[in-house]
Structure 1
Amino acid sequence: MNDKTLKNAVLAGGCFWCTEAVFQRLEGVEKVISGYTGGTIKNPAYREITTGRTGHAEAIQIIFDEEKISYKELLEIFFATHDPTTLNQQGADRGTQYRSAIFYVDEEQKQIAKEYINFLTHQNVFDNPIVTEVTELGPFYNAEEYHQNYYNQNSEQGYCQFVINPKLNKLNSTFKRKLKTEKQS
């Protein structure tokens, strides 16, 4: 299809290696870029981000075909594959750079995100309150090249085995119908 309706979503759910690996596997996701957003300096580098002093979150930019996967479906998978109830932390990764955040690109995304968080809250999906911030997207800076496609190039590494694999197992069991076929991966 040449006239795809591609959209942009930016999410932060802890380490971008994890979120990138999850979203790369979804039907309708054309591209996932690891990067930084939500901070105070221009063109930050990883060594600055890890200090937590720049205010940036490790985030991913998702380019998706809304005819194959909706923004709401992306949010459903986002909330199912990270802990949105821990402030500035995902597992052992701690600091504001690992916060849970939705960086909306327009008012429609903002509304969908807020409504979905309200839905999850009213359904008592999580034992603790959701702390995911919903913030307008500012500048998004691509992470260094060695962070791109990290899991696919380093799946035998310890962090990938112990932190990312469980997320992918959950994705495979819970969202099997949303996964790309082998030919497309």
Structure 2
Amino acid sequence: MTEKAILGGGCFWCLEAVYQRVQGVTHVISGYAGGHVANPSYEAVCSESTGHAEVVQIEFDPTIISYRQLLEIFFVIHDPTTLNYQGNDVGTQYRSVIYALNEQQLQIANELVKELEEQRHFSDPIVTEVIMAPIFYPAEDYHQNYYRNHPFQGYCMAVVGPKVSKFKKTFSSLLKD
């Protein structure tokens, strides 16, 4: 039986491209969560008027990869110490957030953040929000599988590709065949 996770760490294209390559991940959907408007559009989210973050909903097999391992990847492929931006992507929609789907996920996420802080894993404090999941809204079809469909698009080459490469280098044992 599969479980789900919802994570936001900058542009959803980056997270989607990485998690699609993880053993045990069966499906990844780019979308929006954490706002106050039902069924938001990309344009509305980008205007920062809806309060949503760009996120991915990850479906995974916990007998192959654990929720904690998904979070460990998350903390490597984005900067959890920058408030409302990742690189050149600036705005509240790019915030670092873990939306827990149950109390166990909430506990695991909070424990990992605490461990990383205690180990001084990052030179700056972690600003990742860890809260219970709000409603998830899938993004428009053209956002799904974006890197897979557009690997040579400028943003994909400059931003998404290096994150995928970092994942492959750091977590080679978790790569799908």
TM-score (norm 1): 0.95
Structural mapping, 1:75-94, within 5 Å = 75-94=71-90
Give the 3-state SS of the residue equivalent to 1:59 in structure 2: strand
Distance of 1:154 and 1:9 partners within structure 2: 25
2:118 is aligned, of 118, 122, 141, to 122
Which string of whole-angstrom CA distances, capped at 9 and with x for unpartnered residues, describes residues 130-161 of structure 1?
A: 00001111110000000000000000011000
Where do 5+ consecutive residues of structure 1 fail to align? none
- Residue aligning to 2:94: 98
**Residue 153 (str. 1) matches residue 163 (str. 2):** no
Aligned amino acid, residue 74 of structure 1: L
Alignment equivalent of 1:142, drawn from 127, 138, 144:
138
C-alpha separation in 2, matches of 1:135 and 1:40: 15
Match of 1:13 in 2: 9
Deviations 1:55-79 (A, max 9, x none): 1000000000000000000000000
Query: Of 138, 153, 171, which aligns to 1:175?
Result: 171
Q: Determine the structure 2 residue equivalent to 1:56.
A: 52
Q: Equivalent residue for 2:41?
A: 45
Match of 2:129 in 1: 133
- The letter for the 1-side match of 2:162 is P
**How many percent of aligned residue pairs carry the same amino acid?**
55
Distance of 2:5 and 2:50 partners within structure 1: 22
CA distance in 2, matches of 1:112, 1:158: 36
Unaligned runs of 5+ in 2: none
CA distance in 1, matches of 2:128, 2:134: 17
Give the ranges of 4+ consecutive aligned residues of structure 1 lying more than 6 Å apart after TM superposition: none
The CA distance in 2 between the partners of 1:132 and 1:60, in whole Å, is 15
Aligned length: 177
Residue of structure 2 aligned with 1:25, choices 3, 9, 21: 21
Pairwise CA RMSD? 0.5
Letter in 2 for 1:85: T
Q: Kindly state the Cα deviation for residue 53 of structure 1 after the two structures are TM-superposed.
A: 1.5
Equivalent of residue 159 in structure 2, options 159, 163, 169: 163
CA distance in 2, matches of 1:158, 1:136: 35
Q: d(CA) in 2 for partners of 1:113 and 1:64?
A: 16
